[in-house]
Structures are given as structure tokens and as C-alpha cells.
Structure 1
Amino acid sequence: MISIVIPCKNEAPNIPPLLDEIAEHLGDREIEVIVVNDGSTDDTPQVLEVEAGKRAFAVRHLRHESSVGQSLSLRSGVLAASGTVIATIDGDGQNDPKYIGQLVDKLIESGPQTGIACGQRIKRKDTKLKQLSSRFANWLRGSILNDRTRDSGCGLKAVHADIFRRLPFFNGTHRFLPALVIQEGYDVVAIDVLDRPRRYGQSNYGILDRGLRGALDLFGVWWLKRRRKLMPVVEEIRYE
């Protein structure tokens, strides 16, 4: 089973078309969709109640009493997931669900040594300021962490569930998933994905959040990497 985790904050108008696309592109696979409602104040609960009743796949609604951010929303979805592979996608419609199947297939085909398949956005649709800040952040992160992807901030990813649950979660984890997976001793693969404009509303996580907090998070992940350079190869010795 593939568990598709969608962190959402005030994205009610974007949810139905996103679920339509998931049904179109993944309707022949065994899936569940976990929408993590991160303290939304719009009609997200009502929309999800309607959508859950008309889908052939399970639509699960996890609600945070108050907003805790994208990374901890992912954590809630990951811990609740039933699938052996967890795919993540943003709730604003900018990520195209047609790539979820490609990411999962790439992850599986790459063998057990690969822990994560990442989307890398091309033809970005964000504002110029957001594109420039993202480009600089990706360059800085890649230079320091060598995480084998040029766009760790893309919401489209596929990760083995058992590996995902081992990762440390903090407010910013979602930007460093490739580096954290590498730290666990696994490889990273990537595919290019076309970016799309947001359908409705506006971003709930701004440049300040990505910039200032991201710099502190980068230092923290670098520290973790420095403190654990080797992963042990574990073999259990069994006795009759």
C-alpha cells in the first residue's frame, strides 16, 4: 500500500481537485490518502467529510488543534500511515499527483539500498523573490550537506515507511529529508517534476520561515551529520 500524506492549512478549495487527480493517476493502485489538517480555520473539515464519502480509496482526516507547521504535520501523517511506502505532496495544488507513481516506482526499482525518491521542480511558478531565495537555500544546503538533490524543498517525495519513522522530526524536517535519509545509511534518487501555479489562496509558510529558521535548521542537521559519521552494519547471531 502507498500512504499519501498531504499536510494542509486552510487549503479547502484545493483539496477536491487534488483528490480528483490522485484518483485519476493512482486509481489502479492500493492507496490511502491522509490529509493532515494543521489547525485550519476554513471549511477543510466539511470538505473532507464530503470527499471521504465519494472516493474509492480511504481518505483519512487527521486534525491538529492548532497549527504546528508542515514538518510536524508530516510527522503526524507518517506515524498514522498504514502503507509500506509513504508519498508526500503539498496541499496547494502546485505538485502534480501524476508524479507520485513515478517516484514510488523509482524508489522500488532502485533497490533496498535506496531510502528516498525526490521530486526536483523545473519551470518554477513561484514569485521571483521566492525562486531566488529557494535557489540560494538549495545551493547552500547542498554545499554543506551534500544531500544529492538540487531541490530538497519539493513536496513530492516517496520514502520507505520504516525509514521515514526513524528520522528526527523538528520544525523544518521536510526541507532536509534527503540528508536525513543519507544519515541513516541509504541512497537518494530523484526525478524532474513540472511545477504548477497555486490554484486557490496563498501560501501559509513565508520566506521568513524558510530563511531565518532554515539557517538554524541547516546548522542543526550539519551537527547531526558530524556527530554520526558511520552507520553500524548489524548482524544478529542466532543460537539454537
Structure 2
Amino acid sequence: MKNEELNVATLAEEIGAAMAPLAPFEVIFVNDGSTDDTAGAIARTRARFPWLREVRHAASCGQSAAVLSGVRAATAPVCCTLDGDGQNPPSELPNLLAPLLADTTGTVGLVAGQRVDRQDTASKRLGSRAANALRRRLLKDDTRDTGCGLKAFPRQVFLSLPFFDHIHRYLPAMVKREGYQIVLVDVTHRARAEGRSNYTNFGRAMVGVLDLVGVWWLLRRRKVQRVVHSDAWQGAAARLPAGGDAA
């Protein structure tokens, strides 16, 4: 959340209602260097919802850094993300969690929402469509909408990825790079009710070209090793003295 004080209470209420059937849960609002009263709004809302926590950045670091801070602070093994502007309906959260909760093999590394009937300006939709088409062609991630904030993943999968700014837009490609399965879920979208967007098409385009080249390089350099046997840990443990510890 960056300068989203008017959206804090409503978003928390909707998340609480959507997640109630799946309790217990925790919700972390990452305050990304807001200059309005987002912090005060979160504090007032926490008094109503004990499952709500805040992580606050001293200065704005961007969405990927905010996601990383939230995932690091999380205590649950499965994480869901959504944008703080209210355009991602929290009612979609159970739909994102379902494939992960049903996965008994540990092969699903990401459930990615794909927006249908986007409630954005025409210029933003066209810019996003062009960027998505170029990304799909170059990265072959088979995802039509990586910019959707609604995503779910095992916490440890996300933390194992090489972090870089704007990684949130390339999670399907990066998770697929690690050998995991990607599940795509169509989700609804709605217009922003309060506040204004922190993004511009020009700003996204400027960083997008460099990001694409960097991610393309990472995908080409990855070698997935399939370990069929390892007794390294057992050997290390056998060499420990009585009462010893290992890091």
C-alpha cells in the first residue's frame, strides 16, 4: 500500500470476510513509504481485526520489494498477494488458494490470477496488452496477464527465487524456471474506488525492456538439477560431537 489510507478499512473488511472459512490466517499490509495517513488507517483497523499486521518501509521501494517484505514477515507456509488499491477483489482469494491446498505432491509453485473484463483506462489496457504479448513471445511463460496482483504460492518457493526489482511481473516465468507447475485462474477486476494510481504507462515501458532482457538471460542460464540421492546431511550429522549443533 502506498498512499492508500482511504482503501485500508474496506480492503481489510473484505479480506476478513473472504478468508473466514479458511481461518486461521494472517494479513500483512505493507506500507510502502506512504506520505498520507495510511499508517494511521492501518493502526485504527488493527484495533478491529487482530489478524492484521503492518510492515512499513521508510521510503517507497516499489511493489516487488513490498511483496518480498510481506513474504519475509509471513509466518504461514502459503502466501497470497493482492494490490492495496482495491481493484483486486478479495473474494477471489479462496479460488487462488484452492489449487495449492489440494496439491499433495508439492509440484504447484504458483497460482496466478488473470484478469477478465479489466476496469482500467483504455491506454492502460492497450499498453498492458502489448507488453504481455511481447513477454509471452520472449519468455514463453504461457500467461496472458502477469501484471495481476492476485497470486498465491508456497512461501519457500518465492523466497528461493533470485530477487530483482519488478520480479512480481515475471513470477510465472521464474517459478516455471525452477521446475514447478503454474496454475492459471481467471479473476474479476474492478475500478479503483478511492485514491489514484501510482503507475504510468511510460514508466512501465521504460523499465520493461531491461527487465525482459534480464529475465530472458536468467531463464537461459538456469540448469535444473534432479537430485536422486544425497547423504550429505547424514554425513555432516555423523561428524557432530555429542550435543553439537549444525548451521
Shorter chain as normaliser: what TM range? over 0.9
Among residues 44, 57, 80, which one is paired with 1:87 in the alignment?
80
SS for the counterpart of 1:27 is: helix
Among residues 77, 92, 97, which one is paired with 1:104 in the alignment?
97
* CA-CA distance at 1:23 after TM superposition: 1.2
CA distance in 1, matches of 2:24, 2:143: 28
Deviation sequence 1:125-172 (CA, Å, 0-9, x none): 111110001011111111111112111110000000110101122221
Mapping for residues 97-176 of structure 1, pairs under 5 Å: 97-110=90-103, 111-176=105-170
Please name the residue that 2:13 is paired with: 20
RMSD over equivalenced CA pairs, Å: 1.4
Greater strand share, structure number: 1
C-alpha spacing 1:207/1:235, structure 2 compared with 1 (3 Å): farther
Among residues 31, 40, 62, which one is paired with 1:37 in the alignment?
31
The answer to whether the Cα contact below 8 Å between 1:184 and 1:231 also exists between their aligned partners in 2 is no
The answer to whether the Cα contact below 8 Å between 1:185 and 1:231 also exists between their aligned partners in 2 is no
SS for the counterpart of 2:6 is: helix
TM-score by length of 1: 0.92
Please name the residue that 2:243 is paired with: none
CA distance in 1, matches of 2:225, 2:148: 27
SS for the counterpart of 2:109 is: strand
C-alpha spacing 1:153/1:231, structure 2 compared with 1 (3 Å): farther
Please name the residue that 2:177 is paired with: 183
* CA-CA distance at 1:73 after TM superposition: 0.8
Question: What amino acid is the match of 2:177?
Answer: Q
Question: What amino acid is the match of 2:143?
Answer: T
CA distance in 1, matches of 2:170, 2:7: 26
TM-score by length of 2: 0.90
The answer to whether the Cα contact below 8 Å between 2:114 and 2:148 also exists between their aligned partners in 1 is yes
SS for the counterpart of 1:12 is: coil
SS for the counterpart of 2:7 is: helix
In the alignment, is residue 215 of structure 1 matched against residue 209 of structure 2?
A: yes
Please name the residue that 2:241 is paired with: none
C-alpha spacing 1:231/1:212, structure 2 compared with 1 (3 Å): farther
The answer to whether the Cα contact below 8 Å between 1:107 and 1:189 also exists between their aligned partners in 2 is no
Runs of 4+ in 1 over 4 A off after TM superposition: none
Find the structure with the greater CA-based Rg: 2
Greater shift, 108-117 or 125-134, is seen at: 108-117
C-alpha spacing 1:44/1:216, structure 2 compared with 1 (3 Å): same
CA distance in 2, matches of 1:148, 1:112: 21
Please name the residue that 1:78 is paired with: 71
CA distance in 1, matches of 2:227, 2:184: 26
Number of residue pairs the alignment of both structures matches: 232
Question: What amino acid is the match of 1:101?
Answer: P
SS for the counterpart of 1:196 is: coil
Deviation sequence 1:174-225 (CA, Å, 0-9, x none): 1001111011110100110111000111111221222110111111000000
Question: What amino acid is the match of 1:50?
Answer: R
* CA-CA distance at 1:234 after TM superposition: 5.3
CA distance in 2, matches of 1:47, 1:101: 26
CA distance in 1, matches of 2:163, 2:145: 19
CA distance in 1, matches of 2:86, 2:179: 32
The answer to whether the Cα contact below 8 Å between 2:178 and 2:224 also exists between their aligned partners in 1 is no
